[in-house]
Every structure is written in C-alpha cells, then in structure tokens.
Amino acid sequence: MPPMSGPLDDASRPPDPGDRPPAGRLAHAPSERYAERLGSRVPGGADGTPRQTSVATLLGALVPAIVALLVTVAAMVVVGGVLAEQRGLLLTAGFGGAAIGLLAAGAAVSPDGVAPPALPRGRAVRVAVFLAVLAVAGAAIGTWAYGRLEGGVLDPVTYLWTVFGPLIPAEAVLAGLTAAWGAGAGPVRSRS
C-alpha cells in the first residue's frame, strides 16, 4: 500500500510566496553589542579569552583604602583610648569612612583607560562600607586593649558597652554611610 499524502504533508506542497529557508547561525552573538558598555562584567575579552581580575590587581587597587583603614583605626584609638574623648569619635569615624570610600572608589576605574577596572562600582561601594565598619570594630578592640594596658579587667563587650554604650554602633553606621558616599563620589586621584 503506498503512503498516503494529505494536506499536512509539508514536503509535497510548494512553498508559499512569503516562505524562506531557515536562517543559519549568526556570525556574532546578539549580546556582543553590549560588550563595550558592560566593561569588566563581560566574561571574555575581544579575542575570546576569559577576562579575570587577579588578586594582586585587586589588592593593588585597594591598598590606599587599606592604609586609610589603618590610619582611621589608629586615630580612633588615640581619640577614644588615649585622650578618652567620646565626642570626637563620631567625627573621626565619619572622616575615616569618607576617606576609605573615596580611596576604595579607585578600584572601580580603569588604571590606564584600557584595562578593565578591578571592581565594578557597586562592589567597590560594598567593599568600602565593609572596610569602614571593620575600621570601627578594629578601633573598638584597640581601645579595649589600651584599657587593658592601663589595668582594666573587663571583657571587650562589657567594657565597650559600659564606656561607650550605643556610640560604637552609631560610629559604624556613620562610617558605613560616609564610605558609601565616598565610594560613589570618588575616586581620589593625584594629577601627574
């Protein structure tokens, strides 16, 4: 018995005037048009090799912010521990957070205008906030250690809550806010 052919048999009917053969593969992916705009978020470079930021590049871009963190910790220990001045701690935390943020923003720009930045802007803001809050925590521990050197006997939490109360969380919030502002407004670069 011969095979039956019906109205649904596409191979036997002639093509309609608007029909055309299926297109082949595209020469480039449609998303390649966004590659220049996305910068470092593109998974590969122009030649197809994967683009990765090395740890050394990232640390090199964040060294100024880490130095600002250490200076902020030292300044807060001097103000809160050595000088026993609580009013200056908020000011020191605010200026320290802003300095950390402004310097961390340097990781979000290309070092030479050609290479991708070490971090996207959003991640640089988060890193700056983390470093600023870490500076406040380090200063609190440093202040407690200075109190221990002077003969204190309390554990860190009891000492810090007794002496500073809610001032340390306020310092952390202020340092984080100013670091976020600085990382969004930065970077600070010298003109050479």
CA-based angle 83:87:92, to the nearest 5? Answer: 80
pLDDT of residue 173: 98
- Give 99-143 pLDDT, tens digit per residue: 999 999 988 888 777 778 888 889 999 999 999 999 999 999 999
Contacts of 188 (CB under 8 A, 6+ apart): 102, 103, 105, 106
**b or e along 81-103 (b: 16 or more beta carbons within 10 Å of the residue's beta carbon)?**
beeeeeeebbebbbbbbbbbbbb
**How far apart are alpha carbons 80 and 96 in whole angstroms?**
14
- Give 48-87 pLDDT, tens digit per residue: 454 556 777 888 889 999 999 999 999 999 999 999 888 8
- Give 8-58 pLDDT, tens digit per residue: 555 666 667 777 766 677 777 777 766 655 444 444 455 545 455 677 788
Instruction: Using DSSP, state whether 188 is helix, strand or coil.
Output: coil
**Neighbour count for residue 104 (Cβ, 10 Å):** 33
Token representation of residue 70? 């250490």
pLDDT of residue 36: 55
Are 99 and 68 spatial neighbours (Cβ–Cβ below 8 Å)? yes
- Average pLDDT of the chain is 83
pTM (whole model) above 0.85: no
Instruction: Using DSSP, state whether 129 is helix, strand or coil.
Output: helix
pLDDT of residue 38: 47
pLDDT of residue 111: 76
Cis peptide before 166 (omega within 30 of 0): no
Lowest mean pLDDT among 94-103, 170-179, 183-192: 183-192
